[in-house]
Amino acid sequence: MVATTTNTRGREAMGEKDRQSRIEKLKTQVRNLPGGELLMGLGAGLDSEAAEVFWRHVLECEQEPNGTRFAQLEDAGIALPAADSLDDVMVHRKLWEVIRKLAEFGVYLNHTDHLSDRDLYATLWGDLLRQEDVILPPNPRSACYLDILGGCSEEDIELTHKYYSDEEEREMWRKEFPNDPIPDHENPPHNRDRHLPKWAFG
């Protein structure tokens, strides 16, 4: 029994050593990418198994774009008519069909509550789904987020503060950018985000 336990521990130690070696190779590959040094502070606090998955995913996501979510949805059999060709009931159904299919691909939305169903679908249809991206096979250990306000434009920042930032975030912004006005908080006009599919780390 003692010998068996010792052998098991030895194999575990060797497996952990191999994993750490793979992680360091992945980090080196990421570091050598254009702008890779800026990514090296990510992933802190992960255990070794999760860290290996994380750094492999970072490397995959930093590859050259190879498609669009629009094409990925169409290839999966999802019809994508323009928003102005749909009535309100149809646009609601189509939006949620798209949202659920994206979640099957490991793609999740956030910051949508300031937009109506029609406006959100039109934003996806005309912009976000058509952007070139790295299209990876679905993987339960990884996820991609389409942030509706992730463009960092002045309008995106204003809407984020208006509808989504909590008081701590607003205070941090005031300290860092004391000359930038922050709009008063308002509750967003829609209540969709809490119903969106969420990634459960697998």
Q: Pick the last residue of a domain from 61, 91, 112.
A: 61
Distances 152 to 49, 118, 174 between C-alpha atoms, Å = 33, 22, 17
Mean pLDDT of the chain: 84
Q: Pick the last residue of a domain from 11, 40, 61.
A: 61
- Same structural domain, 83 and 160: yes
Residue 165 resides in a domain: yes
Which single residue is written with the structure tokens 């058509």? 130
- Same structural domain, 54 and 88: no
Q: Pick the last residue of a domain from 44, 61, 78.
A: 61
Query: pTM of this prediction?
Result: 0.71
Residue 90 resides in a domain: yes
Predicted local distance difference test score (pLDDT) of residue 20 = 86
Predicted local distance difference test score (pLDDT) of residue 2 = 53
- Same structural domain, 78 and 24: no
Residue 200 resides in a domain: no
**pLDDT by residue (tens digit) across 136-172?**
777 777 778 889 998 778 899 999 999 999 999 999 9
Residue 150 resides in a domain: yes
- Same structural domain, 93 and 190: yes
Phi, psi of 178 (to 5 degrees): -65, -20
CB 137 within 8 A of CB 76: no
**pLDDT by residue (tens digit) across 47-96?**
888 777 777 767 766 665 578 999 999 999 999 999 999 999 999 999 99
Q: State the pLDDT confidence band at 19, using cuts at 50, 70 and 90.
A: confident
Number of domains in the chain: 2
| b/e 4-20 (16+ beta carbons within 10 angstroms → b) | eeeeeeeeeeeeeeeee
- Same structural domain, 91 and 156: yes
Domain residues for 125?
67-195
